[in-house]
Structure 1
Amino acid sequence: VLFKSQLQKNGVEHQLRREIEIQSHLKHPNILQLYNYFYDDTRIFLILEFAARGELFKELQKCGKFDDKRAATYIAQLCHALLYCHEKKVIHRDIKPENLLLGLNGELKIADFGWSVHAPSSRRATMCGTLDYLPPEMIENKTYNEKVDLWSLGILCYEFLVGKPPFEMENVNDTYRRIIKVDLHFPNHVSEGAKDLIRK
C-alpha cells in the first residue's frame, strides 16, 4: 500500500507510474510479478507476488557471506532475469541485495523497478541507483546502456562472496574515486573462477 501524499511529497509519482507500467509487462520466474493495481482517494494498492523468504539482503546479513555454490545459483538466476529484461529493452539500474527477494523455494526474485527504464534507444544519461553499485560511466555523467546492470551483477557477486561491496569507503568521494579507477582487491578466500567472472 502506497500513500499518494507520500509519493507527492517525495516527487515520485512519475517514477511509480513507470514502475507499474514496466513491471506489469514482465513475466519471468526470477522477477517479482506485479499482478494488478487499484487506488482510492488517498492510497495506491499494488498486488504483488508474495516472496515468502523475504529480502536477500537480510539473508546475506545473517550469513555474513555466501559460499561459491549459493552465490553462483543466485547470480545465474539474476543473469536469466536480466537477459530477459534487456531483451525487452528494460534496464533495471538499481540491482542490489535490498531489491532482491526470495521465493518459497529460495529462488531469487528481482523486485523494485522504481529506477528502471524502458529504453529502446538504449542510451541514457540519468544518474540513479545506489552509490556502491554505481558504474564509472554514471559517476562520470556519460551516456550508458543496459551494461550498467552487468556492472551491478559483478558488484553483487563480490558482495555475496565477501560480505561487503568492493569499493566501499567511509568517504563518498573516496568510493567514487575507487569506482572510476576500478580499484578492485580480493580477499584470499575468493576463488580464481569467481575473481575472473567479477573482473569481466
Structure 2
Amino acid sequence: FPGADVAALLPSGGGSNSGAAGPPWARGSAVGGLRRPNQVSFHDLEQHRIVGTGQFGLVRLVRDRKTNKVYALKVVHKAPMVDAKQMEHVLNEQRILQQADYPFCVGLVGAYQDERALYLLQEWVAGGELFHHLDVHGTFDEPTACFFAANVVLAFEFLHSKGIVYRDLKPENLLLDAKGYLKMADFGFAKYVGKDKTYTICGTPDYQAPEVIMRRGTTKAADYWALGVLIFEMLVGDPPFKSLTGDPWDTFRRTLSGRFYVPNFISEAAADIIFKLLQVNPEKR
C-alpha cells in the first residue's frame, strides 16, 4: 500500500467485475511494504460466513487450508473508498496495524489486493465484542471493569510509546480472546502524531474528549478521556454524557460542561479514577 497510486487502485471497466474468473481471493496478490512477509498465502484462504459489514466492505471468516487456522479477513472495496476520498483511511490503518504488534492489539497476518478490493488478514478473536457482553450483563462488577481497563491501558501505553493515538475507543472496538483478555481492534482512526496534535474530528460522540469537539487538537490525553468514559459505562451501564434524546449535539454540550453524576454504588477508588480521567483540561488528566 505505501506509496500506491490511488488512481491505479480503481477497478477497471467502471467497477464491473463480471468477466473475472473465480472469487477475488483466488486472484489476490500480496501488498508490498509489509515489515515482514505475509504469513499466509492468499490462495490458501477458504471463505466462510460474513461476521461484520461496514460502509466500504465487510469482514469475513476465513480458514487457511494448510493449517486449518481461522482468521478474520477485512475486505475493503476500492471504488467506493476512492469515490469517498477515503483511500488514505484504509492505507493508514494498514500502516498502523503493521506497528501494532502487541498482545492487546488485534494482529495483522497479511495484506493483499486484487483489481477491486484490498484485504487485511487479521487474527480471529473468538470472544466477540465487549459491547455484546456489556449489553448482555448490563454492567460489570468493579474487579471485572478494572481488569478490562488495565488491558486498555496496556494497549494505550504501547501505542502511545510509538507516537500513535487511537482515537476510537468504545466497547464495539474491544474484542475478547479465548482467555478473556481484551484486544483492541479497528485502527481506522488511529494516527501517528508523535509529539504533535491532530485536528480531525472523529470517533463516537459519547467518547469524544472536549478538545476533540472544540478542534483544539487531539493528543494521547483524548484516549485517556475515552478510557474514563469506558470505565464509567462498564460500571454504570451508560456513558456519563449520554443524551436523553439521542441528539449528539446534546452529548457534546454535556461533555463540554464536564458535569456528570457518579452513582453512590460506585466505590470511592473507582469514582476517583473516573474523575481524574474525565478532566475537561487535557493537561490535568
Q: TM-score range by the shorter chain?
A: over 0.9
| Counterpart in the other structure of 2:191 | 117
| Counterpart in the other structure of 2:36 | none
1:20 matched to 2:94? The reply is yes
Question: 5+ residue gaps in structure 1?
Answer: none
Q: TM-score, normalised by structure 1?
A: 0.96
Q: Is the 8 A contact 1:132 1:165 kept in 2?
A: yes
Task: Provide the secondary structure at the position in 1 that maps to 2:104.
Answer: coil
Pairing partner for 1:100 from 174, 181, 189: 174
| The 10-residue stretch of structure 1 (120-129 or 44-53) with the greater mean CA deviation from structure 2 | 120-129
Q: TM-score, normalised by structure 2?
A: 0.68
- Superposition map of 1:14-93 within 5 A: 14-93=88-167
Whose RCO is larger (CA < 8 A, sep 6+)?
1
| Residue 42 of structure 1, CA deviation | 1.2
| The 10-residue stretch of structure 1 (182-191 or 47-56) with the greater mean CA deviation from structure 2 | 182-191
Pairing partner for 1:195 from 262, 271, 275: 271
How many residue pairs were aligned?
200
Higher strand share: 2
| Counterpart in the other structure of 1:143 | 217
Q: Tell me the distance in 2 between the aligned counterparts of 1:121 and 1:83.
A: 14
| Residue 9 of structure 1, CA deviation | 4.1
| Counterpart in the other structure of 2:35 | none
Higher helix share: 1
Task: Provide the secondary structure at the position in 2 that maps to 1:54.
Answer: coil
Identity of aligned residues (%): 36
CA pair 61-10 structure 1, distance change in 2 beyond 3 A: farther
Runs of 4+ in 1 over 3 A off after TM superposition: none
Q: Tell me the distance in 1 between the aligned counterparts of 2:163 and 2:179.
A: 29
Pairing partner for 1:172 from 227, 244, 248: 248
Q: Tell me the distance in 1 between the aligned counterparts of 2:249 and 2:94.
A: 34
Q: Residue type matched to 2:223 in 1?
A: D
Question: 5+ residue gaps in structure 2?
Answer: 1-74, 277-285
Q: Tell me the distance in 2 between the aligned counterparts of 1:141 and 1:90.
A: 18
Q: Tell me the distance in 1 between the aligned counterparts of 2:117 and 2:250.
A: 41
Deviations along 1:59-88, one digit per CA (max 9) or x if unpaired, are 110111111011000000110110010000
| The 10-residue stretch of structure 1 (127-136 or 186-195) with the greater mean CA deviation from structure 2 | 186-195
Pairing partner for 2:207 from 113, 133, 140: 133
| Residue 172 of structure 1, CA deviation | 2.3
Task: Provide the secondary structure at the position in 1 that maps to 2:147.
Answer: helix
| Residue 157 of structure 1, CA deviation | 0.3
Q: Tell me the distance in 2 between the aligned counterparts of 1:177 and 1:4.
A: 37
CA pair 180-107 structure 1, distance change in 2 beyond 3 A: same
